[in-house]
Amino acid sequence: MKKIYLYGNWKMNMLPEEGEEFCRSLADRISGRLYGSDLVDICLFPPFLAIPAVLKALPAGPVSAGAQDGYFEDRGAFTGAVSMTMVRSVGCSHVLVGHSERRHIFGETDEVVAMKLKKALNSGLKTVLCFGETLEEREGGKTIQVVQDQLLSAFQSVPEVRARDLVLAYEPVWAIGTGKNASPDDAQEVCAFAAKLALEAFGSGSLIPVLYGGSVKDSNAAELLSRQDIYGALVGGASLKVDSFLAIYENYRKAFTG
């Protein structure tokens, strides 16, 4: 078995008290189990206002917390923005950058994503760089080109010394929240391509895991996560319930251990 990254993006869900209750239930479920071993890395990404409550209730050791976004300036007249320094100062160890909903709903360009990525890494945050194509781009045979453009644009901003803190997450836009997901073969193909680009950009000294996101659930987790170049899942809806979230890893583990 390889190490699996199980990351839960709550998006605009979970009030602070709901996030705290989730973490208390999570702590009960993982007590005395394999969680926290070298085989799984768990991180939750709550809404900003729920982060303090989540940090307060996180199980000691095996689970970390991150922010869903952060800005590329430290201070200034940027109403509604939260800096990477602020994210780090409240106790978060991780941050998402370039999620498709930030790109396609809020209009973030590749250039903005690259600036956020650089600032996040320089702030000492483990940074999850999201990338992926739309349905129109996939049907037009442009998936590989779109992925290459998004990643190479972002990689140019990454200081080599910080590459070890980078995680990639392939999220085909058409599979997010739709109930559809890329086939394991399609997901493997894109994740392998992303891993190749990362190896060429940063060398073999920086192992950069590639995760898959897009309607991941317990029923498809084992087949997806067993693919050679898919090192984990960035989970949306299934991360809102402890049972469905942990079942993603448990089903993968059972596929290998029986």
Catalytic residues, by residue number, are 99, 171
Closest CA to 167 of 89, 254, 232: 232
- CA–chain centroid gap for 206, Å, is 18
Contact predicate 183/220, CB 8 Å: no
CA atoms within 13 A on the CB side of 99: 23
Q: Which helix H or strand E contains 5, and what residues bound it?
A: strand 4-9
Determine the Cα–Cα distance for residues 36 and 186; give it in Å rounded to an integer: 30
Contact predicate 181/175, CB 8 Å: yes
| Coil vs helix vs strand at 118 | helix
Give Cβ neighbours of residue 140 (< 8 Å, ≥ 6 apart). Answer: none
Please give the sequence-ordered ranges of beta strands (E in DSSP) within 26-140, or none if there are none.
Answer: 40-45, 63-67, 94-97, 126-131
Determine the Cα–Cα distance for residues 59 and 217; give it in Å rounded to an integer: 23
Determine the Cα–Cα distance for residues 232 and 111; give it in Å rounded to an integer: 26
